[in-house]
Amino acid sequence: MHFFYYFYEMVIGLEFHDIINNVFGSDVKGIGQSEQLQTCCPKCQEREGLSHPDGKYNLEINTSKRVFRCWKCDEPKFSGSLGRLIKIYGSHTDYEVYKSYAKIFRDYTEEEDFEDVFVKLPSETIFIEDMDVKNPNHFKFYNYLVNDRKISRDIILKYKLGFCEEGKYYDRIIVPSFDIKGEINYFVARAIDDKMKPKYMNPDVNKGLFIFNEGFVNWDSTVYLCEGAFEMLSFPINTIPILGKDILGELFSKLKKHKPNIVILLDPDAYKTTINIYFQLHSIYGNETDKIRIIKLPSNDDLDEIRKKLGNDGMINAIYGARKLMVDDYFIKKLNNFYGRNGNNGQYSYSKYFKG
């Protein structure tokens, strides 16, 4: 008995083991027994496109030093603070519990969990504001933005749009993302020719670790959520592109903290994403869920199409003029149709969700 007692005492960071177990399921070697744990690397799994862990246990976690690294991930390396790992792959609660324990350690600061978004713009990037007006090739990109996408000069300059003529991102528009210090933390590279595949090329970093163009966000004002960077350019009023189907880490935390009025502004075909997001917001807004709105766009066109037809001002009017909807209205009917439950308006199934 004595031996076991002594043994357990030697495991530093034992309080983190339950959280790690929670995040990675029961598939962690060394839980409760060692400071050095092994589990399957979720980053490797993502890269290989596997629907299940790869069974290789390449991810090592040290609960005494509160660090992790994957032995296989290289370029980019996947390593950092344990808090960062939990922040990326755990739930919001997992990370909150982690912080409450980690704060007991004198050397812990939340900043250690923020590191590692080392994104630089492609070295070939030329900002539109620096383009050579005598160079017809440069004008190709300018024309794409101004004539094809109907993005105004002001917006082009405000968001510091650029392009690449050569390199990995050749013939692409670069939409940089700036953090609150004005540093680049991400970019989206879109082909100017729709036939080019893939249409978008983005850096391989975890999207939960930053908010696209957070430097432009005013949390005291209504925040609009849209899907991608070009939708943001279509509706550039305190708009955050979620860059996917979920509200992830950093954005989730900030919304939870500030609880701004929020408008979900997704394309008409994105009902599934919209309901996902609605439920995510619902879970953090507590008794302030009336701050969450969903806007039905005035037609079946997506934001970009609307703006191309109506121009910037026309589009903003159309959006403001659109009825603001609570979730039990048009949206629910559409969702029911979307899920093939149009009989009886499908009311029963959704009222269940919202009360539960």
Q: Among residues 72, 150, 282, 341, which is the contact residue for Zn ion, using CB under 5 A?
A: 72
| 3-class secondary structure per residue, 266-299 | CCCCCHHHHHHHHHHHHHHHHHHHHHEEEECCCC
If one asks whether residue 41 binds Zn ion (CB under 5 A), the answer comes out as: yes
Select from 42-50, 117-125, 214-222, 228-236 the region that touches Zn ion (CB under 5 A). 42-50
x/- mask, Zn ion, residues 266-285, rule CB under 5 A, reads: --------------------
Question: In whole angstroms, what is the distance from residue 111 CA to residue 196 CA?
Answer: 39
Question: In whole angstroms, what is the distance from residue 190 CA to residue 205 CA?
Answer: 17
Question: In whole angstroms, what is the distance from residue 117 CA to residue 187 CA?
Answer: 12
- Least Å distance, CB 243 to Zn ion, is 22
Which residues is 62 bridged to in the sheet? Answer: 36, 67
Q: Among residues 28, 40, 70, 243, which is the contact residue for Zn ion, using CB under 5 A?
A: 70
If one asks whether residue 56 binds Zn ion (CB under 5 A), the answer comes out as: no
Strand order in the sheet with 223-226: 239-241, 223-226, 262-264, 292-295, 324-325
Select from 26-34, 70-78, 162-170, 198-206 the region that touches Zn ion (CB under 5 A). 70-78
If one asks whether residue 85 binds Zn ion (CB under 5 A), the answer comes out as: no
If one asks whether residue 61 binds Zn ion (CB under 5 A), the answer comes out as: no
Q: Among residues 28, 44, 61, 119, which is the contact residue for Zn ion, using CB under 5 A?
A: 44
- How many Cα atoms are found within 13 Å in the side-chain-facing hemisphere of 11? 18
Check if the beta carbon of residue 319 is closer than 8 Å to that of residue 236: no
DSSP H or E run through 317: helix 303-321
- Least Å distance, CB 204 to Zn ion, is 12
Structure tokens at 60: 């090592």
Distances (CA, A) of 78 to 42, 72, 84, 155, 252: 10, 9, 11, 35, 22
- Least Å distance, CB 70 to Zn ion, is 3
- Least Å distance, CB 11 to Zn ion, is 24
Q: Which is nearer to Zn ion, 204 or 269 (CB)?
A: 204
Select from 33-41, 101-109, 265-273, 325-333 the region that touches Zn ion (CB under 5 A). 33-41
- Least Å distance, CB 257 to Zn ion, is 31
Site for Zn ion in 148-167 (CB under 5 A): none
- Least Å distance, CB 85 to Zn ion, is 11
If one asks whether residue 73 binds Zn ion (CB under 5 A), the answer comes out as: yes
Select from 69-77, 91-99, 240-248, 262-270 the region that touches Zn ion (CB under 5 A). 69-77
- Least Å distance, CB 44 to Zn ion, is 3
- Least Å distance, CB 78 to Zn ion, is 5
DSSP H or E run through 313: helix 303-321
Q: Which is nearer to Zn ion, 80 or 176 (CB)?
A: 80
Q: Among residues 16, 19, 31, 43, which is the contact residue for Zn ion, using CB under 5 A?
A: 43
| 3-class secondary structure per residue, 14-80 | HHHHHHHHHHHCCCCECCCCCCEEEECCHHHHHHHCCCCCCCCCCEEEECCCCEEEECCCCCCCCEE
Q: How many residues does the chain have?
A: 356
Q: Which is nearer to Zn ion, 54 or 165 (CB)?
A: 54
Select from 12-20, 37-45, 119-127, 238-246 the region that touches Zn ion (CB under 5 A). 37-45
Q: Is 184 exposed, middle or buried (0-12, 13-18, 19+ CB in 10 A)?
A: middle
DSSP H or E run through 177: strand 172-178
- What single-letter amino acid sits at 19? I
Q: Which is nearer to Zn ion, 72 or 296 (CB)?
A: 72
Select from 28-36, 67-75, 124-132, 168-176 the region that touches Zn ion (CB under 5 A). 67-75
Q: Which residues bind Zn ion (CB under 5 A)?
A: 41, 43-44, 70, 72-73
